[in-house]
Structure 1
């Protein structure tokens, strides 16, 4: 028998399950979370959980998908083009809201190690598209530069999550962005342009 879709009335239960996850996760590492703990916090039973999600892994993947920051590279590229990095980043992070805190927590040591790779890959793809290229066309040197760029960003986010969200990320970005982001993006734009031209 097929599982009912979340659109057929299970959405409120699914949202309660996600809310319970976020109530527990800051204090309970991902490896220690269970369906039982989450459903108990949500005031639901296990059968309701399994009508909404096939497994704890599916719930976690859906939660992770909701916080991957694919919009950030486009904001940074546009901001660098305009000559003002901080105001658009601040606006972007404000619009991202609580998902930014959630991203930081998921990237921290209490989260899923595979999530860091998913975020990096999504951000690399978004960066390359924002610069007018395709990931499949990147040579090894350009891909390495992209990895360096997104590792700095995700490392900053993870550090914030490990410190209990008390680190002002914009202060950290102000310290490294002018030194790293602008020169790296300029070089990437050149490299991606050369690769598109076949050079």
Structure 2
């Protein structure tokens, strides 16, 4: 890494250490530069403002095309369970969960979930259009439903500070996706002690 890259990364990490405990509008450039050990001029060499750092980090949190499409490609080829290929997704969640938690938390960025879903949906829909699938608009609604459900489960998992491990959560999400939430809820409500 060059010295410029090291300096930029130090500023980004200083921002994150502050952003974890303080809402964006209350963070100052001076706080970031003091934490990173630089002056304000150094900050402006790399960023126009604090929002630019946040935007850069949000961009880095979008899963790669490969992570998103591998399960779909596997499902398309084998008709197997899409969740059989989600190990990389679990790794992604482990690696980025703290940053995602900050962004989707109560003091985070309300627009992040919308941007996150839009970007994921676009990547998947581009793939769907390449396949020339009939009724792509219905698939887009299905994708939105699934993404929203998974994000909601992840938010609850974060609120509960993990509660269950991510493998169990992934298996539960798989079960819901394959068997249907309504049917599972009915079974659970009828499973009394």
- Normalised TM-score (structure 1): 0.70
Check whether the contact 2:83–2:174 (CA below 8 A) recurs between aligned residues: no
Instruction: Report the equivalent of 2:72.
Output: 77
Runs of 4+ in 1 over 4 A off after TM superposition: 84-87, 163-167
- Where 1:179 maps in the other structure, the secondary structure is helix
- Residue deviations 1:36-87 (CA, integer Å, cap 9, x gap): 2222211112111111101111111001101112444313314545535555
| 1:49 to 2:46 alignment | no
Instruction: Report the equivalent of 2:95.
Output: 98
RMSD: 3.1
Larger displacement relative to structure 2 (164-173 or 37-46): 164-173
Pairwise CA distance, 1:158: 3.0
Report how many aligned residue pairs link the two structures: 174
Q: 1:171 to 1:34 in 2, by over 3 A?
A: farther
- Residue deviations 1:141-185 (CA, integer Å, cap 9, x gap): 4433222111112223333444456653332221122332688xx
Superposed, 1:12-31 pairs within 5 Å as 12-31=6-25
Q: 1:180 to 1:96 in 2, by over 3 A?
A: closer
| 1:36 to 2:36 alignment | no
Q: For structure 1, list consecutive stretches of 5 or more residues without a partner in the other structure.
A: 1-6, 184-199
Distance 2:8 2:2 in 1: 11
- Normalised TM-score (structure 2): 0.72
- Where 2:86 maps in the other structure, the secondary structure is helix
Distance 1:132 1:100 in 2: 30
